[in-house]
Amino acid sequence: MKILMLVAAFGILYVSFTRASLDEVTNDERYDRLRKIAIAYQRPNSGEKVCYRLPESRTLPNNPLYFLKKIRDDFWTKLSKNPLDKTRIVILVTDKKVYESILMYEDESVDSWFWKETMKEARKKNDMARVLVNSVPKKDLEIIELEKKVNESEDFLNYTIRQMELGNKIIRCHE
């Protein structure tokens, strides 16, 4: 019985911390303070070379504690009430997964299965972001900008997957 109460207490504490961090992350993402890793890529339609900024990620899917991060990300998505903030969070998680995949791809000691599976998860999150942004009926400037962000995230995701499948180096901007 004591163990059950202890597990419940830690669960409540975890949800509380997750909820508190959601407000901070939503605000930081809204004002673009989380994206610190600049990766070079080529836009599919124009061929223009640009830098896409990704959020940092320290815990990778090959870490035994990664499941806690996945739970947190799912809570962030479920606890976001505003559809625009929820879309921002889903794009953030998508881009975190892309960066995790890049880190694992670059580390030759990590089995390629990990980065491939993480890219599949990134694709699902990107699809979710598209559904969310398309479900908002009013098309004001903020929604139009968010749609552009979803499109660019998808373009970058596709470009990165293609480069990784070809065995090409992922180039940081200013390299």
> pLDDT-based confidence at 26, cuts 50/70/90?
low
CB 174 within 8 A of CB 38: yes
80-to-26, 77, 126 alpha-carbon distances in Å: 9, 6, 16
Give 133-162 pLDDT, tens digit per residue. Answer: 998 887 788 888 889 999 999 999 999 999
Q: How far is CA 6 from the centre of its chain?
A: 32
CA distance 147 to 152: 9
Label residue 47 left, alpha or beta by phi (over 0 means left) and psi (-120 to 50 means alpha).
left
Give 48-90 pLDDT, tens digit per residue. Answer: 899 999 998 888 888 898 988 888 888 888 878 888 889 988 9
- The reported pTM is 0.84
Q: Is the pLDDT of residue 33 over 80?
A: no
- How much of the chain exceeds pLDDT 70, in percent? 82
CA distance 100 to 147: 23
Written as one letter, the residue type at 106 is: E
